[in-house]
């Protein structure tokens, strides 16, 4: 039964991520269809659609996380799936651009169910296995970003609106499946009253500072989000301009990166945490990520990008291990709020990271730029990785001390 519950949550995350990726191929053309095929105007509005999704996640991830701490994970996840189905249908039937925006706003709100999904995994997974559980969520993310553009492009060749209807059918099918296989994971004794003061993004982020371990490692996670968003925002433009990549080349590289990340977080992470421990896994992963960003920015040949993708994917072991350590630092009744706060940080990075990355590429990338630093955006990602590594050192040591002390007390109690 535990396997069925975990699979359901992972499929939910996969479908949420799929919804982000499927509009990438068809979204600009659908927007342009409302603007007399004005591609310049369509680009601006499409950018707004993406920003709206991230903004809604930033605002509502703590709310849904806190609601799941109050009412349980099951109702929040299932209600979000129902809202996601409605969002896809609204976008699919949208008669005007305004309705398309309405659908995207609802999708952003319901996509914040990542908070409840992460909390569910924390509820049903033993503390020493949570890194593996969060790694599976990361693998679902990777697969979603692989499948999304591919499914969207294939269905979009038939009809620009068909990808939205396809996503609606899959999401609703998952909702029906969840009604039968998803029991509640949060015990009534572990629930707590809902407080808007805690549930708003500012309040939830402020509470992270009350625990030194959570505060430091949350900073590490945010730096990781920023580095990732910077890389994603410039990947296509940079490789097309510097190495003459085609759209097919860009798509292939993203597919390789997604598959490698899914394999690392879904398979390799379990072995790594068992053999080396979570603290070492975090430090190794952050170091590999730092090296990879520097290598991306310094690469002189297009084929080298594929070689660097290997250590970059291996660096993905850091995120789930860091999240597992943080989750152990808070109680069962706070898991939803914690996951909501982390998703709010992801929303901030999704807004700020692309703005910073594309600005650096525009300023230092052209041949006429002085200084001419084509890889400036990747070096900025490396800087965030270095800051995240520095922030992790002290709280990782403190978390290890707390864990060892707890293990000693447990052994002493067992001995008596």
**Residue where the block lists tokens 């009744």:** 333
**302 and 398 inside one domain:** yes
**305 and 399 inside one domain:** yes
CA atoms within 13 A on the CB side of 271: 6
Could you report how far apart the first and last alpha carbons of the chain are, in Å? Answer: 35
CA-derived radius of gyration, the chain? 21
191 domain residue, yes or no: no
The per-residue pLDDT for 391 is 92
Domain ends where: 117, 151, 184?
184
**256 and 138 inside one domain:** no
CB 358, CB 233: distance < 8 Å: yes
194 domain residue, yes or no: no
User: 383 to each of 188, 206, 307, 368, how far by Cα in Å?
Assistant: 44, 25, 21, 25
Q: How many residues does the chain have?
A: 416
- What is the extent of the structural domain holding 341? 203-406
The per-residue pLDDT for 2 is 62
Task: Identify the CA nearest to 97 among candidates 46, 50, 149.
Answer: 46
Taking 50 as the pLDDT cut, the residues of the chain under it are 405-414, 416
263 domain residue, yes or no: yes
pTM of the predicted structure, to 2 decimals? 0.76
The per-residue pLDDT for 410 is 44
**98 and 212 inside one domain:** no
**5 and 152 inside one domain:** yes
Residue 310 DSSP symbol = H
33 — phi, psi (to 5°)?
A: -65, -20
The backbone region for 337, taken as left when phi is positive above 0, alpha when psi lies in -120 to 50, beta otherwise, is alpha
**135 and 275 inside one domain:** no
**234 and 124 inside one domain:** no
192 domain residue, yes or no: no
DSSP assignments along 373-396, one per residue: -TTHHHHHHHHHHHHHHHHHHHHH
149 domain residue, yes or no: yes
**Residue where the block lists tokens 């707590």:** 192
Residue 290 CA to residue 378 CA, distance in Å, equals 10
365 — phi, psi (to 5°)?
A: -80, -40
User: 393 to each of 43, 199, 231, 288, 322, how far by Cα in Å?
Assistant: 42, 29, 24, 16, 12
Domain ends where: 156, 184, 212?
184
**94 and 126 inside one domain:** yes
The per-residue pLDDT for 403 is 53
The per-residue pLDDT for 407 is 45
Q: Tally the domains of the chain.
A: 2
237 domain residue, yes or no: yes
CB 322, CB 284: distance < 8 Å: no
Q: Domain of 80: which CATH number? A: 1.20.1250.20
Task: Identify the CA nearest to 186 among candidates 76, 326, 341.
Answer: 76
**350 and 270 inside one domain:** yes
The per-residue pLDDT for 19 is 67
8 domain residue, yes or no: yes
**46 and 124 inside one domain:** yes
Domain ends where: 136, 153, 184?
184
The per-residue pLDDT for 251 is 74
CB 317, CB 128: distance < 8 Å: no
Its sign, for the CA torsion 81, 86, 92, 96, is negative
User: 150 to each of 123, 163, 245, 259, 311, how far by Cα in Å?
Assistant: 33, 10, 18, 13, 25
**57 and 152 inside one domain:** yes
Task: Identify the CA nearest to 345 among candidates 221, 249, 196.
Answer: 221
Residue 338 CA to residue 28 CA, distance in Å, equals 35
**178 and 211 inside one domain:** no
198 domain residue, yes or no: no
């Amino acid at each position: 039964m535990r396997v069925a519950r975990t699979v359901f949550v992972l499929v939910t995350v996969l479908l949420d991520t799929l919804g982000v990726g499927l509009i990438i191929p068809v979204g600009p053309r659908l927007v342009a269809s409302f603007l007399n095929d004005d591609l310049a105007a369509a680009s601006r509005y499409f950018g707004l659609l993406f920003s709206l999704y991230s903004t809604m996640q930033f605002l509502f991830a703590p709310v849904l996380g806190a609601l799941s701490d109050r009412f349980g994970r099951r109702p929040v996840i299932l209600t979000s799936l129902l809202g996601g189905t409605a969002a896809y249908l609204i976008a699919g039937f949208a008669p005007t651009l305004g309705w398309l925006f309405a659908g995207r706003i609802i999708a952003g709100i319901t996509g914040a169910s990542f908070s409840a999904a992460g909390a569910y995994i924390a509820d049903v997974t033993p503390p020493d296995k949570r890194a593996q559980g969060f790694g599976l969520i990361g693998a679902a993310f990777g697969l979603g970003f692989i499948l999304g553009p591919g499914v969207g492009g294939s269905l979009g060749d038939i009809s620009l609106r068909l990808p939205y209807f396809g996503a609606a059918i899959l999401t609703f099918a998952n909702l029906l499946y969840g009604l039968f296989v998803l029991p509640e994971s949060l015990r009534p004794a572990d629930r707590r009253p809902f407080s808007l003061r805690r549930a708003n993004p500012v309040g939830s982020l402020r509470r992270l500072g009350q625990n030194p371990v959570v505060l430091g490692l949350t900073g590490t996670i945010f730096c990781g989000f920023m580095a990732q968003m910077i890389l994603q925002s410039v990947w296509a433009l940079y490789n097309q301009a510097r190495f003459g990549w085609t759209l097919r080349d860009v798509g292939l590289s993203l597919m390789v990166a997604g598959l490698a990340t899914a394999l690392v977080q879904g398979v390799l992470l379990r072995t790594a945490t068992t053999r080396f421990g979570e603290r070492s896994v975090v430090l190794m992963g952050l170091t590999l990520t730092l090296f990879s960003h520097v290598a991306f920015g310094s690469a002189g040949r297009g084929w080298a990008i594929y070689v660097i993708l290997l250590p970059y994917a291996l660096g993905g072991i850091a995120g789930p291990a860091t999240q597992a350590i943080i989750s152990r630092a808070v109680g069962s009744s706070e898991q939803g709020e914690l996951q909501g706060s982390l998703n709010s940080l992801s929303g901030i990075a999704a807004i700020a990271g692309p703005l910073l990355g594309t600005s650096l590429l525009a300023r230092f990338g052209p041949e006429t730029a002085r200084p001419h630093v084509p890889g400036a955006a990747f070096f900025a990602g490396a800087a965030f990785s270095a800051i995240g590594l520095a922030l992790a050192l002290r709280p990782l040591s403190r978390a290890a001390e707390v864990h060892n002390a707890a293990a000693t007390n447990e052994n002493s109690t067992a001995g008596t």
